[in-house]
């Protein structure tokens, strides 16, 4: 090998290698059959999601769109939307049309909506054979026309990071962990603003509430 190229490779490898590492780590996660809920290892999935969205390089994410695991394709699709990679819009539209797994098609729909790109692909998703895909396509339909950059909002939320020791700290008999979320007016809300002043009920909902 040319000594100059070898030196360049030697210098750049740690950087490039790190950018691909989040996806490599994501592939190591244990996944259950699609038909089951699966609680074991949820902390690892949270941390791996954060790592992919915050640190994976765009090249490794684009490559991961063709990965054999639907979970890897799904997180890569979503991460590309969150990262605002308009260059991947065509590939994401291809996933909506042709990927066999609903989880991947849903994530690609979310990503294209965040990119505000390929409205025709989102239109097509409304007719998808799996009920989850049209539901999400309908949910994000107005997002495409909005002037607000929701990918930036999500990036900002992920950028604050999360530590393993902070996961699952809500326990009966213990003080409620404080948190920061967003109101519908996009203002920060801190639980501490009401904590200890009145009884509180918090419901953590899925897509459909």
Partner 1 sequence: MHQQAQLRLRKGEVEKLGAETFVVMPLDTYRTQTFKEQNWLLGGGKGPFGKEKSLVFATPLSDPAGQVSAIYGVSRRALRWGSWVENYPHWFVIDRKGIITFILKPTFATPTSYQDDIEAVIAALKKASGQSLP
By CB under 8 A, what part of segment 58-77 binds partner 1?
70-71, 74
- Pick out residues in 14-43 that bind partner 1 (CB under 8 A): 32, 34-39, 42-43
Tokens, residue 153: 């909002």
- Residue numbers 170-199 binding partner 1 by CB under 8 A: 170-177, 179-184, 186, 189, 194-199
Long-range contacts of residues 41-50, Cβ cutoff 8 Å, at least 24 apart: 43/164, 43/167, 43/168, 46/162, 46/167, 47/162, 47/164, 47/167, 48/22, 48/75, 49/75, 50/158, 50/161, 50/162
CA dihedral 139, 42, 151, 205 (to 10 degrees): 40
Footprint (CB under 8 A) of partner 1, residues 142-171:
142-143, 146, 148, 150, 153-154, 156-158, 160, 162, 166-171
Site for partner 1 in 90-109 (CB under 8 A): 101-103, 106-107
Residue 126 binds partner 1 (CB under 8 A): no
Q: Which of 46, 58, 91, 126 binds partner 1 (CB under 8 A)?
A: 46
**Measured from the CB atom, is 2 or 160 closer to partner 1?**
160
- In terms of residues, how long is the chain? 209
């Amino acid at each position: 090998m040319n000594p100059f190229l070898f030196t360049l490779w030697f210098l750049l490898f740690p950087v490039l290698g790190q950018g691909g590492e989040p996806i490599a780590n994501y592939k190591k996660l244990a996944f259950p059959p699609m038909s089951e809920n699966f609680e074991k290892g949820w902390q690892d999935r949270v941390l791996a999601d954060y790592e992919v969205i915050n640190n994976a390089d765009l090249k490794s994410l684009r490559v991961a769109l063709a990965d054999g695991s639907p979970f890897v394709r799904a997180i890569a699709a979503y991460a590309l939307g969150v990262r605002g990679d308009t260059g991947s819009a065509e590939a994401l539209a291809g996933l909506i049309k042709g990927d066999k797994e609903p989880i991947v098609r849903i994530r690609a729909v979310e990503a294209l909506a965040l990119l505000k790109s390929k409205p025709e692909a989102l239109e097509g998703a409304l007719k998808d054979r799996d009920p989850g895909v049209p539901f999400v396509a309908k949910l994000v339909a107005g997002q495409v026309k909005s002037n607000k950059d929701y990918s930036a909002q999500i990036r900002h939320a992920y950028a604050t990071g999360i530590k393993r020791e902070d996961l699952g700290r809500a326990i009966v008999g213990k003080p409620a962990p404080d948190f920061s979320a967003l109101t519908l007016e996009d203002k920060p809300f801190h639980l501490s603003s009401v904590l200890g002043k009145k009884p509180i009920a918090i419901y953590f909902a899925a897509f459909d509430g």
